[in-house]
Structure 1
């Protein structure tokens, strides 16, 4: 990367920033520099207003009432499913289960798809770079079934060793898993290649898309995976929103994970007949207003365009990486050839939490800790890192302020 990379001239970042009310606030008397976007993104005014308008004008439960408000709420909620299905190029809206986020989506696959199929001696394959949400559910169902969980290795650059991953797709593997983009390293994994090889072996593939969706267009048909998990709050939407996309044949064969209202056709004490997918997997009252907000978030992404977003974010990533390399004793974790704008690092002699606390006093919001990725921290031999994660509403000036603050913090801690 080169700090002299030309800045895109057609991207009006100040106009974009004006759409995000929270970016204008101060913290500890300093202008906020928000660099914790991999944790959760900020929300544009259009998303906030969409949620507000729903509660002010349309609030009712969905799929239960024939009155006007009930019909309006159902229309906007199911319209959100339609919009998200188009956004990821699903073949049908009925392939999309609305969830509270990626964690619920992965657990749904674990208990409804994997557990009924697993036998003693079977295996689930994941990777060393995964978020705990793509490790722990597999451990839980493996313990119940007598199966095991295997982890494919990565190299020091933070890239998946793909040939090792493919070698580990042995006959006992009943499900393969991989993150599309690492939440710690920013590494973009070759999902299409992995999906193609899994298909040759008759192994279903689940992809954690939490960190990919905010930065790049996702086409589930082109990727060729079997399951794709989505988190809404990382992609400008409200918390408590997300989805699981799955191939129709899997959803037809999978039993429900939760039971209750809305997911049934008929209930008798002699037995229950379940609704067709996706409603079979959506028991109870959903986060209706949240999905109204997520639909507005998708509208916002489409208004800006991923081509412009990608160019701006990659420019920021190159600039921030080169500026960080100027700091003595700083080590970056994750230098893959293809990565999204996430930079994890440490400064020799300083603790990550101490640095994050002192940076906060300068108005800089970054993440410190293990980032829900203990196995990855163990691979690098560190307990924690500092992580700066960028979004398309960040600026070079914010990166400069971050570097100035980081140098001050380094001086205090040395």
Structure 2
């Protein structure tokens, strides 16, 4: 572990954080042209182009779109196998589903509603909340399987009332989707599922292909091809966010447990070599204790032969992108978090209520020694599709509202319009929109 060589740095001012956040590598370098070609091909040639890209990038030689469409018998068979062979996982996913449904139903009930109110004599205004009609869920796949992402993307869409939900996910080396993914499709009553990943999946969802219908919104995380494709099709279809490498920031008070902190920093580092793990400790002593605990845990983690790939990824991430800061000024640590705008923020400090009040920018917040990010990833009910790369400054975790749209409603009777027509005419005239002005005045 000596090659990681983490050091505790004193945080003197917010500028210390800004210097760290400046990435030296352009994540989109060399990818944009290829993604643009794929999007253009599917847009112009539909099914034919999609099948070519599936063969090239997904490794699936399909003669027809029906060959990438997962049928009801395949989904049913997968469900039976999973229930027979993986009962503990079935129970865990059922518990996760229950909590995710509860959280997102509360989201719906606490604010996403239609309303109408009187705004004066002869006038009303209001809001009509309507679910989008058709959503496309991108589920990462291939080498790894993420059943939790199926739940996190599908449940809020279902609770919002989305009429049509389709899933795209890259096939494994055998050309099939994992049984667990199909098991959840069965549980959630999602029957439109396609074996396709990458930018070609995003293109199919955004433009349609002749056989595959286009969607109104695309959600779900993916690799850099998926992220860049979503960025390019925004405006043709809605998107949730642009997912980058995962990140975490931890505010650790004097009583925080160093080994717990080390576990949570490494757990994000194992995602990607570009993942960021940042500790904001209340003292140099605490920072040094965490560095020692990281060394200790990485020795344990590296001992498992099945975990070598994860270990190598985490070690590289820690070496390149982990930073250990400390300051006795809690307000400076809070301001550092607001500059970082982390995807995940853990607060392990006795004064967590004071800290929480000062946080403006954080995607998902986890409080206390026994609330690691993994709780939110799998079982806590909150959503794990969260803005990364500082985007928590202006965006939020995926939720019910992502699948709802608001229409404003305005109602005037003749008397109400006659009373206010002079104001409309005055403003329209100033803006030199004379037909706007006439559309009011010439009614009388």
Fold agreement, TM-score > 0.5: no
- The structure with the largest alpha-carbon Rg is 2
TM-score, normalised to structure 1's length? 0.27
Bigger RCO (CA 8 Å, 6+ sep): 1
Q: Which has a greater percent of helix?
A: 2
